[in-house]
Chains A and B, each alone.
Chain A
């Protein structure tokens, strides 16, 4: 017969459940913001150099500007998504999905 070990660490018990809840929320939220391969994408510069390079990059590959983002001085573009790692590590640009009604949604047309 299998006999389980007695409980020996009572303190981290609640921490485990809370951590799992945070991970779950983060995972689902991350999925909400995960940029699709094609569709509406929000480009956010996260450095002054990226801010200067952003207009030249977002309009490559036939992407079409839909609007400026409500926050952060980014652009909402319609089109194919470039490789995420290249944008992030080479140009300092963060790409996110644009859920309907979110803060990354377009505020004005171009």
Chain B
């Protein structure tokens, strides 16, 4: 990276060389009256060569292209002087300006423009000494003169390159040192400025800090006072609420103790009543046992009555069958009596036919006929009796059937009664068990009621103590408020 000092020197060099180029053009213009057309042509070429270096100088350019353009112009301006003075005795003296032009390029601090200018001058001499010798040396100089001039140009270029390089290095080092010095100066000034700024800032911060600290203290004191006031108010409010709660608790404990005593007394009464009920239930259980025994006896009797009723029924049915047998025998007797009557009738007829001899026989026949009639009447009476017996046995059989149904119903009722009695016995047993449990629970309830009454008494005592403590807490809160007020007042006064 090149330093600004070198660039500034190069810019000055470009500008100066461009101005020198226009000075050369003016010189050529001055030669026109003396040298005529060739000076005019040289002037035109000189103006052309000055254009780009002038633009570069106008633009403050110092880059390598600008330097090379300036070097080319500087090397050719003396050549134009030679051309303009062609044939004049002073032409040879114009060669001095080649050395001047090349030496002027040293200000560019670059070896390349020097080398380019030297090469251009050398080529100019070599080419024109062959192509147009009159442009270089009046009357011709020969190759030897060209080489002498070229050697001088080379030597000068070498020395100038060394000087340019050394100058570049020196300026670079000086620039670096200067930059470092300026940097150090700026750093020192910056450090001093920072120190002053920090000192002022520290002073301002300390002042602000003190003011802020006092503001913070006042704000903290106000916040503390407000917080303590809020806290004490809240605690006092809570304490008063607690006192009210304790008062209510005391009353509740008193009511609870009273109600617990009443519950204990009621539980004792309930226990006694349960004992009495348990005794009644025991009696009821015994009575149900007796009913169960009676129901069992009734069942047995119903079974026996049923058996006997069936036996009676069988006897009646046997009697009915025998009455039918008697009826059959009776109808046989009636048939015999009818046949006897018919026989007596025949005997009567025969006796009548026999006359007087048959009169006795007719009397016997009459008697037989009467016996047959009597037998027939006896038979009808027997049939009537048998009919009454059959009707009676039917009714008896029917009665026995109904009786058997009633006895069966009775047996079922007895079984139902026995089953119900068994259920009642189970129910009474369960009632007895429940009553026992109830009695135990009642006793436990009475015991618990007594404990509750005792605890209610204890609670009442504790609530009283708590109310005393609440009063002490309220006094402490008032004391805290006074202390906080004194503390805040001392802070504000500080």
Chain A interfacial positions (CB closer than 8 Å to B): 1-5, 7, 10, 12-17, 19-21, 23-24, 26-28, 30-32, 34, 36-37, 99-101
Number of A-B contacts (CB under 8 A): 91
With contacts A27-B45, A31-B42, A36-B37 taken as known, whether A16 is within 8 angstroms of B56 at the C-beta atoms is: yes
Is residue B265 within 8 Å, beta carbon to beta carbon, of the partner chain?
A: no
Counting chain B CB atoms within 10 Å of each CB, which of A3, A24, A37, A99 scores highest? A24
Output the least CB separation between A25 and chain B (Å): 10
Chain B residues 1 to 19 lying within 8 A of chain A, measured CB to CB, are 4-5, 7-8, 10-12
CB distance from B109 to the nearest CB of A (A): 13
Q: Which of A4, A14, A27 makes the CB contact (< 8 A) with B65?
A: A14
Name 14 A/B residue pairs within 8 A (Cβ), A-sorted: A12-B65, A13-B63, A13-B65, A16-B56, A19-B52, A20-B52, A24-B76, A24-B120, A27-B80, A28-B76, A30-B44, A30-B45, A34-B41, A37-B37
A2 and B8 in contact (CB under 8 A), knowing A24-B76, A31-B45? yes
Q: Restricting to B33-58, which residues have a CB under 8 Å from any CB of A?
A: 36-38, 41-42, 44-45, 48-49, 51-53, 55-56
Q: Which residues of B contact A10 (CB under 8 A)?
A: 63
Q: For A20, what are the chain B residues with a Cβ–Cβ distance below 8 Å?
A: 49, 52-53, 68-69, 72-73
Least CB separation from B42: chain A residue: A31
Residue from B12, B36, B63, B120 having most chain A Cβ neighbours under 10 A: B63
**Does B60 belong to the interface (CB within 8 Å)?**
yes
Quick check: A31 and B72 within 8 Å, CB to CB? no
**Contact of A16 with B65 in the complex, beta carbons under 8 Å:** yes
Q: How far is the CB of A98 from chain B (nearest CB, A)?
A: 12
B60→A5 contact, CB < 8 A: yes
B493 interface residue (CB < 8 Å to A)? no
Bound: A4/B14 CA distance, A: 12
Let me know if B131 is at the binding interface, CB within 8 A: yes
With A and B bound together, what is the CA distance between A100 and B120 in angstroms?
Answer: 22
Residues B38 and A17 in contact, CB atoms below 8 Å apart? no
Q: Which 4 A-B pairs have the closest CB atoms?
A: A20-B69, A27-B45, A13-B65, A17-B65
Q: What residue of chain A has the Cβ atom nearest to residue B55's Cβ?
A: A16
Are the C-beta atoms of A16 and B66 separated by less than 8 Å? Answer: yes
Distance (Å) between the CB of A55 and the closest chain B CB? Answer: 25
Q: For residue B37, which residues in chain A have a CB less than 8 angstroms away from its CB? A: 34, 36-37
| Contact in complex: B65, A1 (CB < 8 Å) | no
For B79, the chain A residues whose CB sits under 8 A away are: 28
Q: How far is the CA of A23 from the CA of B70 in the complex (A)?
A: 12
Structural contact, B132 and A23, CB atoms closer than 8 A: no
* B99 in contact (CB, < 8 A): no
Cα separation A20 to B52 with both chains bound (whole Å): 7
- Interface SS of B by simple majority: helix
Chain B residues near A36: list those with CB within 8 A: 37-38
B68 proximity list for chain A (CB < 8 A): 17, 20
Interface residues of B in 61-90 (CB under 8 A from A): 61-66, 68-69, 72-73, 76, 79-80, 83
**20 further interface pairs, Cβ-Cβ under 8 Å (given A20-B53, A23-B51):** A1-B8, A4-B10, A4-B11, A7-B63, A10-B63, A13-B61, A17-B64, A20-B69, A23-B49, A24-B73, A24-B120, A27-B45, A27-B76, A28-B45, A28-B76, A30-B45, A31-B45, A31-B80, A34-B37, A37-B37
B38-A4 in contact (CB<8A): no
Q: B44 — which chain A residues lie within 8 A by C-beta?
A: 27, 30
- Residues in B whose Cβ lies below 8 Å from that of A5: 60
- The answer for the CA separation of A26 and B4 in the assembled complex, in Å, is 35
Residues of chain B contacted by A4 (CB below 8 angstroms): 4, 7-8, 10-11, 60, 62
Shortest beta-carbon distance from A13 to chain B in Å: 4
List chain B residues, Cβ under 8 A from A13: 61, 63-66
A101-B131 contact in complex given A13-B66, A27-B76, A28-B79, C-beta closer than 8 Å: yes
Is the CB–CB distance between B76 and A2 below 8 Å?
Answer: no
Give complex CA distance A80, B396 in Å: 201
**Chain A residue contacts of B42, Cβ below 8 A:** 31
Contact partners of B5 in chain A: CB under 8 A: 1
The answer to whether B131 and A26 touch across the interface, beta carbons within 8 angstroms, is no
| Chain A contacts for B48, CB-based, 8 A | 23, 26-27
